[in-house]
Amino acid sequence: MQEVKREDILLKACDLLKSGVVNRVLGWRVGEFDYDVMPAIFDCREDILENFVWNDFCYVNLSKYLIKETEKNDGKILVFLKPCDSYSFNQLLSENRFSREKVYVVGVSCDGMLDVSKIKNKTGSILHIKEDDDKITVQTIFDKNFVFKRDELLPDRCINCKSKKHAVYDELLGTERNISDCRRFDEVKKIENMTSKERFLFWQGELSRCIRCNACRNVCPACTCENCVFDNPNSGIENKSPSNSFEEKMFHIIRAFHVAGRCTDCGECSRVCPQNIPLHLINRKFIKDINSFYKDYQAGAKIEVCSPLMEFSTQDIEPKDAIEKGKENV
């Protein structure tokens, strides 16, 4: 159960709206099911009180939606950001994708979201979900109840959370905390320890399930090009089903290169994938290599700090040395 309660967020949103500090609110609205939470704009107190939700399924990173929203008018918009979301916010600011003056940020502490895929795999279906402290009760369409401890249902990105502290905020709801043990690169190391043939077969099996729905690209805070190469009919890789296995793999490899050094590891790509492909592992491999080749770097941690891939230093690793390091994992 979250430290910050829904009532706390509603009160803050209504107060800032009433006082005129902001003229609209970017938050979460429940969809057809308990776990179907989506981003939404609220511009009146009544809508906020009735439809604004804050629960263990508010995993949507709201940062990217600020790009279009801040273009609509000159008023200031209120956004609620979890710690992991705040890094994407900062990264977008550093790329001048929106104006900081147009956004009022309220940081919300987060105890981790629940993984809908895990719940479905364990129960078969979901009708209703009830939270009681750290106990989660899932009612299925077959009128059967399952009870889990909350920690059993956390997604990988929350189990291996990179930070419980916000990178940016104007006001803070809840408590900032330290991470005791982040093991987010463990899965990457397992793949690195495979033989080259085993790695090829692993990713061939994973990426072969891709249906080119573009959900990963559309949700990614680092994918903000107004004219995407994958929509260009002259690129040879436009928005369509892959014509062969090579093109099938290149979509995700190209996208990973495009966001390298800018990916904040928010995990949205894997969350929205309808085929449950662990796309975040590709991005984490890039993050791990950047840390190894240059220095420890977290995209979005500080606006004034440039990505190692975007600046030159005489201390940069030489290409031949990078190749040798790469051979260690072949």
The helix/strand/coil state of 323 is helix
Distance CA(158)–CA(200), nearest Å, equals 28
Residue 183 has pLDDT above 90, yes or no: no
What pTM did the predictor assign? 0.90
79-119 tens-digit pLDDT? 999 999 999 999 999 999 999 999 999 999 999 999 999 99
pLDDT of amino acid 82: 96
Residue 323 has pLDDT above 60, yes or no: yes
H/E element, 79: strand 77-81
Distance CA(64)–CA(108), nearest Å, equals 17
The helix/strand/coil state of 37 is strand
**Is the pLDDT higher at 236 or at 11?**
11
The helix/strand/coil state of 104 is strand
The full DSSP string for 250-293 is HHHHHHHHHHTTT-----HHHHH-TT---THHHHHHHHHHHHHH
Report the phi/psi class of residue 300: left, alpha or beta, with left for phi > 0 and alpha for psi in -120 to 50.
Answer: left
Provide the residue type at 317 as one letter: I
> Is 140 buried (19+), middle (13-18) or exposed (0-12) by CB count in 10 A?
middle
Q: Which residues pair with 173 in a beta bridge?
A: 108
Provide the residue type at 5 as one letter: K
Q: Per-residue pLDDT averaged across 189-214, rounded? A: 92
54-71 tens-digit pLDDT? 999 999 999 999 999 999
The full DSSP string for 168-209 is --SEEES--B--S---TTHHHHHHHTS-HHHHHHHHHHHHTT
pLDDT of amino acid 41: 96
Indicate the average pLDDT of the chain: 90
Total Cβ atoms within 10 A of residue 326 = 11
Q: Tell me if 81 sits within 8 A of 64, measured CB to CB.
A: no
SS3 content of the chain, % helix, strand, coil (to 5): 40, 15, 45
Q: Per-residue pLDDT averaged across 237-262, rounded? A: 78
Residues above pLDDT 70, as percent of the chain: 94
- The confidence band for 267, taking pLDDT boundaries of 50, 70 and 90, is very high
